[in-house]
Chains A and B, each alone.
Chain A
Amino acid sequence: MYHGYSLKEWLTTTNHKRIGILYIITAVFFLIIAGTLGMLMRVQLAAPDQTFLDPFQYDQVVTLHGLLMILWVLTPLGAGLANYVVPLQIGAKDLAFPRLNATSYWTYLFSGVLLVGTVFLPNGGPNTGWTLYAPLNTIQFSPQPGATLAILALGLLAVSITMASINFLTTIVKNRAKGMTWTRLPIFSWSILMTMALALFAFPPLAAGLALLTSDRVLGTVFFSSTQGGSILWDELFWFFGHPEVYIVVFPALGIIAEVFMTFAKRPLFQRKIFIIEFAAVTFLSMGVWMHHMFTTGVNYDVLQAFSVTTLAISVPFEGLVLGLVLTLYKGRIRLTAPMLFCIAAIFTVTLGGVTGVLQAFPTLDYAFRGTYWVVGHFHYVMAGTTLFGLIAGLYYWWPKITNRKYNETFAKITFAISFIGFNILYFPYFFLLDMPRRISTYSVLSGWASLNFDATVGAFVFGPAVILTILNLIISYRKNVPCESNPWEAKEMEWTGDYSGSLSTSQIPTTPNSPESSKLQEDDVK
């Protein structure tokens, strides 16, 4: 049964591989829910003056789509792949605290169930947008119990991710096999280290904010309902979490892109050391840019300008990361497999999403962009483009590792083409909807937004099914039960070979190779 294990074994497992698989399955499940919600929004906005959803329903759909996609889909999908791959890459038997890992997973699952469950409560779920701005999030303006439950679910998720970050940081620092020095640490493990370090710093302030908000809603305190700075307080706490969260989401995808590029270009990473330094610089700087989400709140303008500068500063190392990835292909021996194609698409979207983000870093320009579909286009290029494409590439790339099956390459390439085209039809028009406010449930004919919105809806009906087809491809290949070879990509990384000495991650091969006993891992560690 189930991958050779009984149901009980799945429910009680503390093995990092099976927990990784559980994470991936759950995240894909939430992806389908959140994607469906996205489709509902596109249906509603396909034409002017539609009444398919009423404004309150639409608000709930917007909120759940945002919360689910960012926190219950993209973050855990990266964590799931990390769960499976990182211990293999660093030569650890398991994560440092296996039971904590299991607790982290189940907490994540139940928090997601609670969040989705809010819509079945009387008066519906949260309707405040995923940013939960105060004082709209207080009991006075959103009295439904579903909104309280959503906040508690978010808090539970914060606990889950904090547990995961404790686990991964300890594992990567303490559980590396003999010989797996920091310079040899594979780049995906580096990216997870940075992700988890960021998560450690980002989620506690959110948890603090949620604690205050919960006490507001349950105990009747007045932190966010008071007019004495309550709105700005929430902004500060939320965005101190919210901006690093964007990087928490995108880092695993960048790590995957690096691994895939190295494997399919048969090249070491371009300037690996500089790449890691740039990675660390982005991690560090991303803690200091959150106030660019508050340019129009009217707080002290000099502070905002300082944050504008840090935001621009972060684009320099980030650009270095992208260039490093592109130059990895230089003089390579490139095989355009499905993961490679997805990664190339992800680089395209991260570049476009990135430069549009840089434009928003100028307060003057952001005064116009804020709260419009331009912003929606920007972050969907980064999130739905880079992150989702990167994670799909990761799934394709490690699928032979996880399931011992090869997916159908032709089918995968076709779905790639469809999803890439659909993606661009869906999100590119957003850059031209410069004056359309976000989160409006409908618009009038006079606004002139109808044709672009119709395009986007058409794109949604191409992109959504393409993602489903991708998932189907993976499932079908698993059901077909044709085992593949153990290293179909001729990859050089530890998780495939069980030996780091030939790894493309390190720019220098050790001059004195370690003895086979210490560098070669035991068979069942890698399999």
Chain B
Amino acid sequence: MAGIKLYIGIWLGLVIATVMEVVVRSLPGGASLIVLVIGLIAGAKAIVISLYYQHLRYEGIRLAALPLAAVIGVVFLGVSAAFTLAMGM
């Protein structure tokens, strides 16, 4: 099990990432690039929380496969929905 310092360090990292998201928003740059960066930061935060706070890192891949499968299901639904948006005949 991880130590108290690690938990606090992770928390600090997450807070910094949150502030970074807000900063990135106001930076000049392409809208899609900003969306991509913010999306990546959000995803990274979610992964860190699930790995350390939900201690999936210590539970092993067999248990982690379950939420992972759910996420893959969601992504699949999202990707298919995105493609159907393309109106082209």
Chain B 68-84, CB within 8 Å of chain A: the 1/0 string? 01100100110011011
Bound-state Cα–Cα, A201 to B68, Å:
12
For window 209-245 of A, CB contacts with B under 8 Å fall at: 229, 232-233, 236, 240
Check A236 against B77 for contact (C-beta < 8 Å): yes
Chain B 29-40, CB within 8 Å of chain A: the 1/0 string? 000000000000
Bound-state Cα–Cα, A303 to B83, Å:
7
Residues of A within 8 A of B88 (CB): 300-301
B87 in contact (CB, < 8 A): yes
Chain A 279-304, CB within 8 Å of chain B: the 1/0 string? 00000000110010010000111110
**A244 CB to nearest chain B CB (Å):** 10
Known: A201-B70, A300-B88, A301-B89. A288 touches B76 (CB 8 A): yes
**B73 CB to nearest chain A CB (Å):** 5
Check A300 against B77 for contact (C-beta < 8 Å): no
B6 in contact (CB, < 8 A): no
**A241 CB to nearest chain B CB (Å):** 10
Residues of B within 8 A of A232 (CB): 84
Check B73 against A291 for contact (C-beta < 8 Å): no
Q: Which residue of A lies closest to B77 (CB)?
A: A240
Contact count A vs B, C-beta below 8 Å: 33
B86 in contact (CB, < 8 A): yes
Residues of B within 8 A of A302 (CB): 83
Residues of B within 8 A of A303 (CB): 80, 83-84, 86
Q: Which residue of A lies closest to B78 (CB)?
A: A236
For window 194-209 of A, CB contacts with B under 8 Å fall at: 201, 205
**B25 CB to nearest chain A CB (Å):** 25
The A interface is mostly helix, strand or loop, or mixed, namely: helix
Residues of B within 8 A of A205 (CB): 77
Bound-state Cα–Cα, A301 to B89, Å:
6
How many B residues touch A, CB cutoff 8 Å?
14
Residues of B within 8 A of A240 (CB): 77
How many A residues touch B, CB cutoff 8 Å?
16
Query: Which of B76, B85, B86 has a CB less than 8 Å from the CB of A287?
Result: B76
Check A300 against B76 for contact (C-beta < 8 Å): no
Check B81 against A300 for contact (C-beta < 8 Å): no
Known: A300-B86, A301-B89. A291 touches B77 (CB 8 A): no
Residues of B within 8 A of A288 (CB): 76
**B60 CB to nearest chain A CB (Å):** 14
Chain A 343-382, CB within 8 Å of chain B: the 1/0 string? 0000000000000000000000000000000000000000
Q: Which residue of A lies closest to B74 (CB)?
A: A205
Check B86 against A236 for contact (C-beta < 8 Å): no
Bound-state Cα–Cα, A229 to B70, Å:
25
Bound-state Cα–Cα, A482 to B76, Å:
55
Bound-state Cα–Cα, A233 to B86, Å:
14
Residues of B within 8 A of A299 (CB): 84-85
The 9 closest A-B pairs by CB, nearest first: A299-B84, A303-B83, A300-B86, A236-B81, A201-B73, A300-B84, A300-B83, A303-B84, A240-B77
22 inter-chain pairs at a CB distance below 8 angstroms, sorted by A residue, are A201-B70, A229-B85, A232-B84, A233-B81, A236-B80, A236-B81, A240-B77, A287-B73, A287-B76, A291-B80, A291-B84, A299-B85, A300-B83, A300-B84, A300-B85, A300-B87, A300-B88, A301-B88, A301-B89, A303-B80, A303-B83, A303-B84
On A, residues with C-beta under 8 Å from B are 201, 205, 229, 232-233, 236, 240, 287-288, 291, 294, 299-303
Beyond A201-B73, A300-B86, 4 extra complex contacts between A and B, CB < 8 Å: A291-B80, A300-B85, A301-B89, A303-B83
